[in-house]
Each structure stands twice: as structure tokens, then as C-alpha cells.
């Protein structure tokens, strides 16, 4: 088969969907030497290994009307058996079978998070219209997301496959040595309200003072741009204890995971929840939400809490911070759980989806 993977708008391969695309493409190169791949990229610099059956092609779109060019470009890349968008988008026209990865249905469940007023969005609506009709196969990343897709989108069950994400164990691994320094609670999150970071700030603020004063709370990611989070920190008088470190490089992110006393992820909704898996791979004890896909990822290796109950998060956070024995138990369980998620398995399952799309 000739497979085209459209990674042309993923300028950052270190976060979110960009990380998924990077890891998937690299793993496909490792496990599949039979099929031929055209990887469409936005710039010549890329993180991928050169392989004889993979060709990397630069496709640049004008910033203006990017959605329009996204629809036209597949018609210009030559014949193919499968076109794969590794992100939630569709094509109006195609020259082969079409596969898309839909990580979650958050835009359908939380429409207020996706403004529909800009020109690109109007062009997308006009071009794609009833976009589900052009899809041959859908990949999603958890059983929870699959159930949500089938509940909210006109797709057949045989069209939707689950390929859980993996972990790069070469990068996300425990530290050889623990650093000396002030211990901290860690959270990395995006900026949208479903990340629920305000509940974590409130839970940290309501810890017993003698316990809270022994720890910092470190927040990373775009959540640091949220004015309401900054206001909550100030209102609670936590300015000296809550550190906002913003976006991190891969290396720095790993270090923060490795050295944290506990990683807390109180999200209301996730398609998968990769930060939980990354933290576990680094041997960090995890407290996470019991909502959406997160129990699938965490299994019995994390403390699960109701993300809408600040009191429960406060209670469990205190329990973990006060117990070295519990921290050690969570570390052991986290490391064992993280080994169950490998990108090579994700890649093999993805190839199987391509084969189903073409009827093999």
C-alpha cells in the first residue's frame, strides 16, 4: 500500500497531537517495512529517522484559508491507497481511502471551547459539510472515546478502532538520582477549562497548613496563561508556593516528572490522558480524575478521585504527601503499568486499520 500521512500543520512535534504524530510515524517506520509512506510536513526540518520506505515531503499552506488548502492538497499528492489525518479533520474530496484519528469528541460535548466565528472555520464547514460521509475508518485512542464517538457521531461500530497511545520509555524513565531541594506537587495542563486546574489550586490551599508549607505546587503548560488561575493563586495567598513554569522542553518536562513527590491530573475530560502515562513512566506517584478515559490509562496504578470534589482531592493529596510507604507503592505500580503501553503496538494496530480501510 501507499499511505499518505498528513502532518503538514504540526509545527510542534513535542506537545499534544504533534507528539502523537511524531511517535506514531517513528514507530510505523520501525514495525512496517512493507508499505510505502509519504509523510507530508510543514517544513524540511523534522524529527524522523530516514528509512527506505518513507518519503518526507514539504507542503506549505498560506496562513490565509489554511482549511481550504488542507482540502485541496490531498488531490495534488498523487495516487494513494490510504490518506491518514492524525488529527480531527476530514476531506471533502479524496483519491483513495480516508482514515482520520479523532482523539476525543470534546468539541461536541463542550462546544463553547471551540469558537466558530473565524473564516477558516466557516470555510471548513462549507467544504466538508456532512464530513463523516468521506471517512472510511476512524482511529481513536481509548474505549471511552470510542463510546462517545458512537454516541454522538453517525459512524458504524465497525468503522471505529481503538489504538491506545504508547510511551517512549527511553525518554520517560525514572531518574538515577533524586535532586535535593524543596519537594513539590506537579501538574501539566493545557489552557481549556476542562483541565480543572482550579480545583487543584483550591485543594492545595485547603491542605493542613503544616503539611502545605512543606511543599510547593508547580504548574506547567498553557494553563499558566489563565488569568483565573493566577487570580485564584493570589486570592488564596499562595504566590510564594505556586510556581508557574509555562511550556517545557521534553527534557525539562521529564525532570519535573522525575523529581515530583506526586503528579496530579484532575481533568474533567480526556480522550486518553498522556501526561498520566508519562508521569507513571518516570516513576512518579499519580493522583488523577476518575472521569472519561483516565481510569483506562491509570488502571490500579494511581489514586483516582472525583474531579468535581475538592474535598476528596484534598484528602487524597494529603494522604499521599504524608505517607512515604504509599508513595513507594504508587511508584512501583506506576512503572509496571507504564510498561503496558508501547508505541510499536500502536503502530501495528494502526497498520491493521489501514488494511481494513482498503478491504484486506
The per-residue pLDDT for 62 is 65
Segment among 40-54, 204-218, 236-250 with least mean pLDDT: 40-54
Per-residue pLDDT tens digits for 83-130: 999 988 777 778 899 999 999 988 778 877 665 555 445 444 543 445
The per-residue pLDDT for 232 is 97
User: Quick one: pLDDT band at residue 133, thresholds 50, 70, 90?
Assistant: confident
The per-residue pLDDT for 60 is 73
If phi > 0 it is left, if psi is from -120 to 50 it is alpha, else beta; for residue 16 that is: left
Better-scored residue on pLDDT, 8 or 55: 55
Q: How far apart are alpha carbons 263 and 98 in whole angstroms?
A: 38
Q: How much is the average pLDDT of 188-199?
A: 95
Segment among 10-14, 101-105, 153-157, 186-190 with least mean pLDDT: 10-14
The per-residue pLDDT for 302 is 99
Close Cβ partners of 65 (under 8 Å, ≥ 6 residues apart): 119, 120, 123
Q: How far apart are alpha carbons 205 and 233 in whole angstroms?
A: 9
Q: How far apart are alpha carbons 83 and 38 in whole angstroms?
A: 9
The per-residue pLDDT for 116 is 54
The per-residue pLDDT for 43 is 81
What the chain holds in terms of domains, given with CATH numbers, is 2-166+342-357 (3.40.50.2000), 184-338 (3.40.50.2000)
| Complete DSSP assignment for 9-44 | T---TTSHHHHHHHHHHHHHHHH-SSSEEEEEESSS
The per-residue pLDDT for 17 is 80
Per-residue pLDDT tens digits for 28-72: 999 999 999 999 888 887 878 889 999 998 877 665 566 677 777
pLDDT over 90 (residue 219) = yes
Q: How much is the average pLDDT of 122-142?
A: 70
The per-residue pLDDT for 9 is 67
Amino acid at each position: 500500500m501507499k499511505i499518505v500521512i498528513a502532518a503538514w500543520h504540526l509545527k510542534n512535534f513535542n506537545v499534544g497531537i504533534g507528539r502523537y504524530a511524531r511517535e506514531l510515524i517513528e514507530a510505523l517506520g520501525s514495525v512496517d517495512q512493507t508499505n510505502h509512506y509519504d509523510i507530508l510536513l510543514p517544513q524540511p526540518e523534522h524529527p524522523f529517522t530516514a528509512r527506505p520506505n518513507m518519503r518526507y515531503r514539504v507542503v506549505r499552506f498560506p496562513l490565509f484559508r489554511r482549511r481550504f488548502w488542507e482540502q485541496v492538497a490531498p488531490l495534488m499528492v498523487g495516487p494513494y491507497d490510504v490518506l491518514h489525518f492524525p488529527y480531527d479533520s476530514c476531506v471533502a474530496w479524496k483519491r483513495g481511502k480516508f482514515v482520520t484519528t479523532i482523539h476525543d469528541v470534546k468539541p461536541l460535548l463542550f462546544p463553547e471551547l471551540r469558537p466558530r466565528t473565524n473564516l477558516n472555520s466557516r470555510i471548513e464547514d462549507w467544504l466538508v459539510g456532512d464530513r463523516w460521509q468521506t471517512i472510511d475508518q476512524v482511529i481513536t485512542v481509548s474505549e471511552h472515546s470510542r463510546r462517545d464517538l458512537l454516541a454522538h457521531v453517525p459512524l458504524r461500530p465497525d468503522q471505529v478502532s481503538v489504538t491506545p497511545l504508547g510511551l517512549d520509555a527511553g525518554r520517560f524513565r525514572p531518574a538515577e538520582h533524586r535532586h535535593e531541594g524543596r519537594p513539590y506537587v506537579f501538574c501539566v495542563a493545557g489552557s481549556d477549562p476542562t483541565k480543572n486546574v482550579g480545583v487543584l489550586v483550591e485543594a492545595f490551599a485547603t491542605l493542613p497548613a503544616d503539611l502545605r508549607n512543606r511543599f510547593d505546587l508547580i504548574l506547567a503548560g498553557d494553563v499558566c496563561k489563565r488569568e483565573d488561575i493566577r487570580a485564584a493563586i493570589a486570592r488564596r495567598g499562595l504566590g510564594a508556593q505556586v510556581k508557574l513554569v509555562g511550556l517545557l522542553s521534553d527534557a525539562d518536562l521529564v525532570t519535573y516528572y522525575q523529581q515530583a513527590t506526586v503528579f496530579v491530573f484532575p481533568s474533567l475530560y480526556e480522550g486518553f490522558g498522556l501526561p498520566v502515562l508519562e508521569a507513571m513512566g518516570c516513576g512518579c506517584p499519580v493522583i488523577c480524575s476518575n472521569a472519561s478515559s483516565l481510569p483506562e490509562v491509570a488502571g490500579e496504578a494511581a489514586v483516582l478521585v472525583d474531579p468535581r470534589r475538592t474535598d476528596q482531592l484534598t484528602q487524597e493529596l494529603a494522604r499521599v504527601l504524608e505517607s512515604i510507604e504509599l508513595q513507594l507503592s504508587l511508584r512501583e505500580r506506576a512503572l509496571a503499568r507504564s510498561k503496558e503501553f508501547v508505541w510499536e503496538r500502536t503502530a501495528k494496530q494502526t497498520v491493521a486499520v489501514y488494511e481494513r480501510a482498503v478491504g484486506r
